[in-house]
Amino acid sequence: MKVVHVCANPKPIEESASKQLAAAFFETLTEKNPEVEIDNIDLYNEPPPFLSAQALRALYYPSVDPGYQPTEEERRACEYAVQQASRIRDGDVLVFTTPMWNFSLPGIVKAWIDQVFSPGILFQFEGITVKPLHSIGRAFLLAASGGVYKEDDPRDALTRQLRALLEFVGIPELSVAWADGQNPAIYGDSDQRRELALEAARELAEELAETLAART
Ligand SMILES: Cc1cc2nc3c(=O)[nH]c(=O)nc-3n(C[C@H](O)[C@H](O)[C@H](O)COP(=O)(O)O)c2cc1C
């Protein structure tokens, strides 16, 4: 079983609540299920280029014109997307570690998603439906925010957007551990909030380890 971990945070772990959630999650997961393989994609170490016209042609034209052959330049422009999507296709579980920035995902994750979640490499269009080309059955989000957001808060574009994107490519289940209220100048209980989120991350990892063990 392989877990693909997409981490989007430039901060060192001591300064990052979301990275601490990831450490708790993976420590518990590997302790409970030492067989699990983890593929770490640190987006700040392997940053995505922005989508170019050449990459767009190479990724999207074949779904409208099956005979379309990309030029060498177009092929090179989508190399990053093709390689990243192939790592996702090798996985069974997808984990995102990310802060909330401006109510949403950091731009680096969006740039990654814009090209990796593309037809021909992660899914294919069949008429108006989308057929997954991967076998990711579950996804997790390990997140942190300065503010506190009630469930279904309209300002929260982080979980909403990620859930919608994952559903679109055929990943229906997103479980979330979220350290909110991490701005200690506003929330006197930010440490307790982080502790609760760490506990939630460990519980999610335990539950995932049990599910994976039952499958083997
Ligand atoms: C560029 C930037 C934008 C941010 N935008 C928001 C925001 O919209 N809402 C919020 O609650 N916190 C926001 N924050 C605060 C972070 O979400 C908070 O510091 C969180 O702990 C970051 O996660 P980390 O500790 O894993 O880095 C922002 C921080 C930065 C640096």
pLDDT digits (tens, 9 = 90+) for 59-82: 999 988 989 999 999 999 999 999
CATH 3.40.50.280 matches 2-215: no
Residue-wise pLDDT tens digits, 78-104: 999 999 999 999 999 999 999 999 999
Q: What mean pLDDT is reported for the chain?
A: 96
Is the distance from the beta carbon of residue 146 to the nearest atom of ligand 1 less than 6 Å?
Answer: yes
Mean pLDDT of 28-56: 97
Residue ranges per domain, the chain? 2-215
Residues 1, 162: Cα–Cα separation, whole Å: 23
Asked if 23 and 197 count as a contact pair (C-beta separation under 8 A), the reply is no
Q: What does the alpha-carbon distance between residue 45 and residue 142 come to, in Å, rounded to a whole number?
A: 19
Q: 181 alpha carbon to ligand 1 midpoint, in Å?
A: 10
**Six-digit token string for 114:** 């814009």
From 101, 191, 193, the mutation candidate for ligand 1 (largest count of ligand atoms within 8 A of CB) is 101
- Of 9, 19, 100, 105, the residue with max ligand 1 atoms within 8 A of its CB, to mutate for a pocket test, comes to 100
Q: Check pocket membership of 104 for ligand 1, CB cut-off 6 A.
A: no
Instruction: Please state, for a pLDDT cut of 90, what percent of the chain lies above it.
Output: 94
Q: What is the pLDDT of residues 160-199, one digit of tens each?
A: 999 999 999 999 999 999 999 999 999 999 999 999 999 9
